[in-house]
């Protein structure tokens, strides 16, 4: 029983790390097309690609789902929180604010997730988790402001970012609560809702602007857009969300939240390595603090648990 629990913790932690790595790498892909196409065109194609890929995998038996006799409402609620509400808030919020402001607000996801899990799941976070998340938050704020210190003072932008952060926190909590569904089932419904919602918005927007043909042929005519869509659709939407749903089921919201800062570190390093962006001393300090926060919240706690097990066995 104890070995199974330790195995679940290990699997959950690995899934959380890999999914945050994938989220962090999305920065260099998005950067290539974000100034050339509509954000909703990118989101629409992203989730349509994800939905098509998952549907094919299910059809050939590579993935399995069984929703017969199961209530759809909990899955729809999860899908509304993320990707629908989260990406609307994040996309429009980032557009109306500066990078430093949006980065700082989004970095609050772990803190808000702790509150959401306390309300919905009645889970009290461990002391080390709280300390680790606070340390990670400090590191994220330092890292973000090392790049840009400006203010937009956009109240609407702030509110949209807050909506994004809260919706992601509630998505995490409700995903953990939905224990009767598999990670594949949760992810598939999320991709379906994302494809339906953002695909519809992209089509309406294209029709209003007289660019429906351009929207449809974007992946064919724009190689960078195709690569970005495939990475975001398969890597970030299918694989990453699948992994985070596994992590939520294995180790819970509170512990998964402690890994969120890894995406910030990966996005900075990917920018330096692939886009040859500057890497300041303050960014290095911020990245180190983020990693330290993850260590405090997870590694030390594992060691403590191991010591307690040995003590009990002795």
Check residue 89 and give its pLDDT.
Answer: 95
Q: Using an 8 Å Cβ cutoff, are 41 and 215 in contact?
A: yes
Number of domains in the chain: 1
Looking at residue 205, its pLDDT comes to 96
Q: What is the pLDDT of residue 52?
A: 97
* Residue 288 within a domain: yes
Considering the domain boundaries, does residue 5 fall inside one? no
- Residues contacting residue 12 through CB under 8 Å, at least 6 positions apart: 246, 247, 249, 250, 251, 255, 256
- For residue 8, is it within any domain? no
Whether 186 contacts 78, CB under 8 Å: yes
Torsion over CA: 4, 294, 26, 274 (sign): negative
Whether residue 2 is contained in a domain is answered as no
Please check whether residue 314 lies inside any domain of the structure: no
What's the pLDDT at 303? 43
Name the token pair of 49.
Answer: 């690609």
Residue 311 confidence (pLDDT): 41
pLDDT mean values, one per 10 residues, the chain (314 residues): 84 95 90 86 97 96 94 96 96 82 84 92 88 91 74 83 95 94 96 98 97 95 94 96 95 92 88 81 89 83 43 43
Alpha carbon distance 53, 190 (integer Å): 13
Is 136:170 a contact under the CB 8 Å cutoff? no
> Is residue 180 situated within a structural domain?
yes
Say whether the peptide bond before residue 83 is cis (omega within 30 degrees of 0): yes
Contact 134, 292 (CB under 8 A): no
Contact 33, 261 (CB under 8 A): no
20: Cβ contacts below 8 Å, ≥ 6 apart: 259, 260, 261, 262, 263, 266
260 within 8 A of 109, measured Cβ to Cβ = yes
- Residue-wise DSSP of 250-293: HHHHHHHHTTTHHHHHHHHHHHHHHS-----HHHHHHHHHHHHH
Q: Going by C-beta distance under 8 Å and a sequence separation of 6 or more, which residues neighbour residue 181? A: 70, 74, 75
Identify whether 169 is part of a domain. yes
Report d(CA 52, CA 82) in Å as an integer: 18
Question: Do the beta carbons of residue 248 and residue 175 sit within 8 Å?
Answer: yes
Residue 228 lies in a domain: yes
- Of residues 171, 190, 187, the one with CA closest to residue 113: 171
In the block, residue with structure tokens 């294995």: 250
> Which residue range(s) make up the domain with 97?
21-309
H-helix segments, the chain: 2-33, 39-59, 73-79, 86-96, 99-106, 109-120, 127-147, 155-177, 183-208, 212-221, 223-230, 241-257, 261-274, 281-313
Residue 158's SS3 state is helix
State the pTM of this model: 0.87
């Amino acid at each position: 029983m104890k070995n199974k629990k330790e195995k679940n913790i290990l699997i959950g932690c690995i899934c959380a790390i890999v999914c945050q790595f994938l989220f962090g790498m999305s920065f260099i892909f998005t950067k290539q097309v974000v100034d050339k196409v509509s954000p909703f065109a990118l989101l629409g194609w992203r989730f349509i690609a994800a939905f098509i890929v998952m549907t094919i995998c299910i059809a050939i038996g590579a993935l399995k789902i069984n929703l017969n006799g199961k209530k759809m409402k909990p899955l729809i609620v999860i899908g509304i929180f993320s990707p629908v509400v989260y990406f609307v808030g994040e996309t429009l919020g980032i557009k109306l604010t500066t990078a430093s402001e949006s980065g700082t607000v989004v970095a609050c996801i772990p803190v808000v997730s702790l509150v959401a899990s306390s309300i919905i799941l009645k889970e009290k976070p461990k002391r080390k988790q709280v300390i680790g998340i606070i340390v990670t938050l400090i590191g994220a704020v330092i890292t973000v402001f090392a790049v840009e210190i400006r203010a937009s003072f956009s109240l609407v932008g702030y509110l949209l970012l807050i909506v994004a952060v809260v919706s992601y926190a509630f998505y995490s909590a409700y995903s953990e609560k939905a224990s009767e569904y598999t990670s594949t089932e949760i992810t598939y419904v999320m991709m379906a809702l994302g494809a339906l919602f953002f695909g519809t918005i992209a089509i309406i927007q294209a029709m209003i602007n007289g660019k429906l043909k351009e929207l449809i042929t974007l992946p064919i005519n724009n190689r960078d857009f195709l690569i970005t869509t495939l990475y975001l659709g398969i890597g970030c939407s299918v694989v990453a969300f699948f992994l985070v749903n596994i992590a939520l089921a294995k180790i819970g919201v509170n512990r998964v939240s402690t890994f969120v800062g890894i995406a910030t570190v990966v996005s900075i390093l990917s920018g330096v390595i692939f886009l040859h962006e500057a890497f300041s001393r303050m960014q290095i300090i911020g990245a180190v603090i983020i990693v330290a926060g993850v260590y405090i919240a997870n590694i030390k706690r594992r060691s403590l648990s191991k010591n307690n097990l040995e003590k009990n066995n002795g």
